[in-house]
Amino acid sequence: MKMFHRIFAILGLVFLCGQVHAKGQITPSYPLLVIVDTDASTDDMMAILYLLKAPRVDIKAITTVGDGMSRWEYGAKNISNLLELAGRNHVPVSYGAKRSLSPAGTFPNDWRNDADEVEGIKLPKNPVKPVHIRSSDLITEILQKSPHKITLLCIAPLTNVAMAIEKTPSIKDKIERLYIMGGTLLAPGNIQGKPQGYRNQVAEYNVFLDAKAAVDVLESGVPITLIPLDATEHVPITKAFYDMLSKNRQTPAANFVYEVIKPYAEMQRRVKNYFWDPLAAVIMTHPEIATYRDLNLAINLRKGPEYGRIIMSKQGAKVQVVTGDDSDAFYDLFLSTLNSKIPLKQNHNESK
């Protein structure tokens, strides 16, 4: 982590892209009014359950996309059933864009199959069906009707958000901030296979699958906090956290997370997996656990092996980027919120 911060310090001087902020620089207003835009992977579901259990968070809607991990016909239904599990079945859920604005392939089919089937985890059926309004329009409607600004947690390709802003630019004034889990700056990308015929090792899926939408959102002028892969690498799914959770899962939400991470914790020594979207959710509610740097960012749209890469550039849009996080604070807040208990002061980073 120390090396990571030194690299960012050097890059900041080279590109003159901003300054380091102390922890807690952003102070969210409460209650925190939130729209979650998701592709309904189990990683997203863990983040959503955290927010549903978090005090002073009011989720106004959950919008889904069909160009991410879960296929269009499954995502909204699975999220609706997740709400039933959490006892919050009346939160509006919508079907969103079926296709990317900039097709660049998809997640591997076996990954999508797992997401569609919620990795074999059974969810109760929600009698309340998803609403009959597409996600971009639902985002617009909620923002226009709200007397207060609303924060968006974006944990999917940014298709819905870009479509909403393009159709009704005035909604930008009603957005408090976008928290976007996406992209990578210094860490390797996570693209598998050869989408578009190229092997890509520099992009991250949420940006890669709709890079045009990501560019449109970055250039919209809306305040953005970006949580890139670089930051999420500090919060791996560890055997130690899994063991702690196995002994302390007192709610359906906590038990769901236990079922999700069980296979990953058991193979942790061979394959690393991380709490990508849960970290973004926790930082949104507790910004004091992270450190930040303002950077000017652009996204490469040229077809080839670096398509979807985030680039630091003087001409890029100014974005607040999470450069580090307190991993122990994350694990404590995540676990205690799922169980609605006082945070547990233990080091869950250590693998057993």
Burial class of 196 by CB neighbour count within 10 A (0 to 12, 13 to 18, 19+): middle
pLDDT at 103: 76
- Is the distance from CB of 47 to CB of 62 less than 8 angstroms? no
Residue 348 lies in a domain: no
Tell me the three-class secondary structure of 162-222, residue by residue.
HHHHHHCHHHHHHEEEEEEECCCCCCCCCCCCCHHHCCCCCCCHHHHCCHHHHHHHHCCCC
What's the average model confidence in pLDDT over 180-188?
A: 96
Give the pLDDT band of residue 153 (cuts 50, 70, 90): very high
Tokens 């302390």, residue located: 248
Whether the pLDDT of residue 340 is over 80: the answer is yes
Residue 349 lies in a domain: no
Give the pLDDT band of residue 197 (cuts 50, 70, 90): confident
Residue 346 lies in a domain: no
Residue 38 lies in a domain: yes
Q: For the chain, report the end-to-end CA distance as a whole number of angstroms.
A: 21
pLDDT single digits (tens) 303-324:
999 999 999 999 999 999 999 9
**In whole angstroms, what is the distance from residue 40 CA to residue 49 CA?**
12
Whether the pLDDT of residue 10 is over 70: the answer is no
How many independent structural domains does the chain possess? 1
Residue 351 lies in a domain: no
59 closest CA partner among 82, 81, 90: 90
Q: What is the DSSP letter of 124?
A: P
pLDDT at 280: 98
- Using alpha carbons, list the distances in angstroms from residue 280 to 103, 117, 178, 192: 25, 24, 11, 23
Higher pLDDT, 38 or 351: 38
Residue 180 lies in a domain: yes
Whether the pLDDT of residue 62 is over 90: the answer is yes
Whether the pLDDT of residue 271 is over 90: the answer is no
Full domain range(s) for residue 214: 2-339
Query: Which CATH number does the domain housing residue 15 bear?
Result: 3.90.245.10
Residue 132 lies in a domain: yes
Residue 352 lies in a domain: no
- Is the distance from CB of 212 to CB of 301 less than 8 angstroms? yes
Give the pLDDT band of residue 17 (cuts 50, 70, 90): very low
**In whole angstroms, what is the distance from residue 309 CA to residue 295 CA?**
15
pLDDT at 268: 62
What's the average model confidence in pLDDT over 42-59?
A: 97
